[in-house]
Copies of this chain bind each other. A is one copy, B any other.
Amino acid sequence: MADKDNVVSVGDLLAPYAERVEVDLRRWLVEPGTPETLSEAMSYCVLGGGKRLRPALVWMSAESVAGGPACAEQAAARAAVAVELVHCYSLVHDDLPSMDDDVLRRGRPTAHVKFGEAMAVLAGDALLTRAFGILGEAPTRLEGAASLAAQLVAELARAAGAVGMVAGQVADMDLCDVPPGSRGLRYIHVRKTAALIRAAARMGALCGGASGPRLQAVSDWAESLGLAFQLVDDLLDATGSAEQLGKTPGKDAQAGKQTAVAELGIGRAREATERLSRQAVEALSPLGESAGPLRELTDLLVRRLR
């Protein structure tokens, strides 16, 4: 096993994709004619850094299934931006006073603290809408490009909507019944976190031309990865500092929210993370060698805990 100091970090692995999506975000985020205050708020919510995990998942999944159609790169670039906009919108709305009432995000004031609550709601609405606009505006001259664009819209909507992220937040806010104990926690994590991570990977795989068992492999990998990712986040939240996290540590636990650490304890939460990461890697077997970077990402993600 390589020395811990010599292995690349998650950030290193994601960096080239993060650079690419940063350029594309700046190109596509703001439509000409957007009121300046609104575009300022949207940019603040999106361009404030972050690892850009979800866009990287689009690109890495597309590359791992290989052999995509000619439209793949253009479509993947749009899909990467779209998933990031949906992620950012969800943070803005989740942070609202009527929701989690958070004041700090990525080390900066949350959108409603900075711009007021009305603008935060509206900027979130605009980001969600723009995500779909970017997919719908894809050039459709190439054979298959239009059909791919429609599929990407459907994938993203399913993950973001009433059976995905919105359902997860409804459950997390205790606004619907969920099963008791760790099953309830899984219900929330599958929808609130894993759904968009899974959609990012699936959208990438679709751009790469995957279908059938290869699409399913990417899908299963990403769902386990997403669940592991949430556990890592909960574990770091329970043990990390505000500086490391860019948000108030222990906030979720203090708010009486269900967290993996509160439900399982640190030891069992770590075990569950390891188990999910093994399941994630196993799911990749139909893809063979080309899935190497996806395995590496899975491993590095869990290694943050060690």
Contact = CB atoms under 8 A, between A and B. Distances in A.
Given A132-B132, A133-B154, A154-B137, A98 B121 contact: yes
Interface residues on A, range: 35 or more
Given A170-B35, A175-B38, A150 B140 contact: yes
A135 B153 contact: yes
Contacts of A163: 31-34
A93 B92 CA distance: 15
Contact of A118 (B33, B99, B137, B140): B99
Contact of A176 (B35, B117, B125, B153): B35
Contacts of A119: 170, 175
A36 B98 CA distance: 20
A103 to B, nearest CB: 16
Contacts of A153: 132-133, 135-136, 149-150, 153
Interface of A: 30-39, 42, 93, 96, 98-99, 116-119, 121-122, 124-126, 128-130, 132-133, 135-138, 140, 146-147, 149-158, 160-163, 166-167, 169-171, 173, 175-177
